[in-house]
Amino acid sequence: MEELVEDPGIEEAAEVIERYVARPYTVQVNGLCSVNYQGRAKSSLDRGERLVVIKQDSALLVHGPENYQPKNWQPEVDSWNVESDEELLLTAKRNDPDETVELRFEDVETVLVTQMVDRSELKLRGHEIDIHESIEEDPELVEEGLKVIERERKTPAGYIDVFARDPEDRYVVIEVKRNPDYNTVLQLQRYVDEIEDEFASEVRGILVAPKMTDNVLDYLDDHGLEFVEVEMEDVIASYESLDDSQTELESFSEV
Amino acid sequence: MEELVEDPGIEEAAEVIERYVARPYTVQVNGLCSVNYQGRAKSSLDRGERLVVIKQDSALLVHGPENYQPKNWQPEVDSWNVESDEELLLTAKRNDPDETVELRFEDVETVLVTQMVDRSELKLRGHEIDIHESIEEDPELVEEGLKVIERERKTPAGYIDVFARDPEDRYVVIEVKRNPDYNTVLQLQRYVDEIEDEFASEVRGILVAPKMTDNVLDYLDDHGLEFVEVEMEDVIASYESLDDSQTELESFSEV
DNA sequence: GTCTAGAGGTTGATG
DNA sequence: CATCAACGTCTAGAC
């Protein structure tokens, strides 16, 4: 911990904040403040008790007592300004897009300054791309006898996730989505149209997703397209076994 | 401030956290921890210094030193568990979807407990809906002689932002978007298709947005759809004048 | 409660 | 550096 002040006056709080803001410190300010934002949109937030966090990369968060998301924020601040008399005015300006967040503190309860060291990266499984790879690894996840021709095939309408052929030698366009919606259906339709044009033959379109809603499924049916459900757990499992084998290879090569 | 402990042992940290978690307090824990998540996806995060915030509605945030967004999180936690021996294990479980976040603290620097009072609501201008309203208020923003028939018209394919007729009595489907992209085009196409089916007549589709990119514009052209630019500032201005008149009315009624 | 689409989205990958 | 699409998206609103 770099610094911790309890119940400072406005002056002292301003000093501490000014000292650490715009430097690679994490500053947590608990206090009573109001917020004005102007930029891509415009907002105002009346006085209330909030937790303000200024991160080491200058990200700014203004959290109320509830919700995952901050009430106001700025992903990256280019210039800071601290002013004080009766109140503490903290201004955070971003250049592109041109945006400003103004915090006006009437009272500051605590200011806590730390310098976090965190070199670990999040390892996440279950991305859409993990599904692609699982399918390429094991096309039977989608359908028996399916043969993958190409992944990320480029067409004038965009990239096809997986391009394949079924046992009856029909072309199959596969669109993978974690969270499919109506638009996904049209996207798939467009790829199918493209491929039908290109190969002048009937083409199947399959939407592969870990979940589906009735309405989107209906819409898919209307378009003569198909749906195959994949279990996210299967995907993660297949991905992990793949990952393990790679790790083994790596450690082997290190010997 | 409800409680503030500096450099507590694992035991003491566990006690404080256990006392306040699952109650309407905001708990900020700075310390060295690792995180495992399993649910819709699966992730692991090795040890690092982090700021963990548990909000009064049970939202959980695990922030690293950088970025707007937390490295791990849970928007709403249903049950908490605190265990401790050499390490502090904090488990946050959510029932729907079934997800668990596990935090393992090796060291706790500070625990800060507050109870934030914040009854103010964010007043935000610049939403997409502000554009809808401006258009309804003044359809000429989009095109001379345009008459709005309906806003938020329901179709089997979803909701049409603004449904209108042009001076030549053609139906016009308007999709409003702050940040239009390829999906927006598909979405508009979807609505146009629906309306063409329903009324068995030619239907115009107009994308109204404060900005546009060349590629999306091309894509729009390909689909035979149109684009009209609106200035966000005009929209905010028109909305504010509307809002001001309402405010005036309110203060008037308070007299 | 489920479904739908927006968000000051943010972020990371890609050309 | 701009563009594009995913996100453990989250969240509010409509039905």
Could you please report the per-residue DSSP string of A80-106? EEEEESSSEEEEEEETTTTEEEEEEEE
Write the CA distances from A31 to A63, A219, B145, integer angstroms: 11, 51, 53
> Gap from B36 CA to C14 C1', in Å?
30
A-to-B residue pairs, Cβ atoms closer than 8 angstroms: 184
Residue B173 tokens, joined: 């489907």
Low-confidence ranges of chain B (pLDDT < 50): 246-255
Which of A52, A190, A163, A164 lies closest to A113, judged by CA? A52
Outline where DSSP puts E strands in chain A.
3-6, 26-38, 42-54, 60-63, 72-74, 79-84, 88-94, 99-114, 123-125, 147-155, 158-165, 171-176, 203-209, 226-229
Q: How close is the nearest chain A Cα to the Cα of B225, in Å?
A: 16
What's the CA gap between B101 and B72, in Å, rounded? Answer: 8
Residue A33 corresponds to which amino acid?
C
Three-state secondary-structure class, residue A212:
coil
Residue B117: its chain A contacts at CB < 8 A?
Answer: 48-49, 65
Please state whether the peptide bond connecting residue A97 to the residue before it is cis, i.e. omega within 30 degrees of 0. yes
Low-confidence ranges of chain A (pLDDT < 70): 239-255
Is the C-beta atom of A99 closer than 7 angstroms to strand C? yes
Beta strand B203-209 with B226-229 is parallel
What's the CA gap between A140 and A167, in Å, rounded? Answer: 11
Residue located via tokens 């500053």: A27
Query: What is the CATH code of the structural domain delimited by A128-245?
Result: 3.40.1350.10
Question: How many Cβ atoms sit within 10 Å of the Cβ of residue A255?
Answer: 4
pLDDT confidence of residue A245: 57
Residue located via tokens 């819409």: A219
Contact A38, A17 (CB under 8 A): no
> From residues 164-203 of B, which are strand C contacts by CB within 7 A?
175, 177-179, 187
pLDDT confidence of residue B248: 42
- pLDDT tens, B71-103? 999 999 999 999 999 999 999 999 999 999 999
Which of A47, A25, A111, A178 lies closest to B49, judged by CA? A25
Chain B residue with minimal CA distance to A47?
B120
Interface test with A, best of B27, B50, B113, B120 (most A CBs within 10 A): B120
- pTM of the predicted protein model: 0.93
From its phi and psi, is residue A153 left (phi > 0), alpha (psi between -120 and 50) or beta? beta
Contact B1, A111 (CB under 8 A): no
Give the burial class of B119: count Cβ atoms within 10 A of its Cβ; 0-12 exposed, 13-18 middle, 19 or more buried: exposed
What's the CA gap between A86 and A78, in Å, rounded? Answer: 26
- Residues of B (5-64) whose Cβ lies below 8 Å from A: 6-7, 24, 26, 28, 30, 34, 40-51, 53, 55-57, 59, 61, 63-64
Max distance between CA atoms of chain A, in angstroms, equals 79
What's the CA gap between A27 and B30, in Å, rounded? Answer: 12
Q: Looking at the partner chain, which of B75, B124, B186 has a beta carbon nearest the beta carbon of A183?
A: B186
What's the CA gap between A143 and A162, in Å, rounded? Answer: 13
Cα A250 from chain centre: 30
Q: B3-114: what fold? A: Protein Yojf; Chain: A; (2.70.180)
Residue located via tokens 């997409």: B128
Bridge partners (DSSP) of residue A159 are: A154
Residue A87's Cβ-side half-sphere holds a number of Cα atoms within 13 Å equal to: 14
> Gap from B195 CA to D14 C1', in Å?
21
How open is the CA angle A120-A126-A129, to the nearest 5 degrees? 100
What's the CA gap between A111 and A51, in Å, rounded? Answer: 10
pLDDT confidence of residue B187: 92
Please state whether the peptide bond connecting residue B8 to the residue before it is cis, i.e. omega within 30 degrees of 0. no
Residue B73: its chain A contacts at CB < 8 A?
Answer: 68
Contact B49, B65 (CB under 8 A): yes
- Residues of A (112-141) whose Cβ lies below 8 Å from B: 112, 114-127
Could you tell me the residue ranges of all domains in chain B? 3-114, 128-245
Whether the CA torsion A216, A217, A220, A221 is positive or negative: it is negative
Residue A187 tokens, joined: 């996207």
- Residues of B (186-215) whose Cβ lies below 8 Å from A: 186-187, 189-190
Contact B155, B166 (CB under 8 A): no
What's the CA gap between A233 and B38, in Å, rounded? Answer: 10
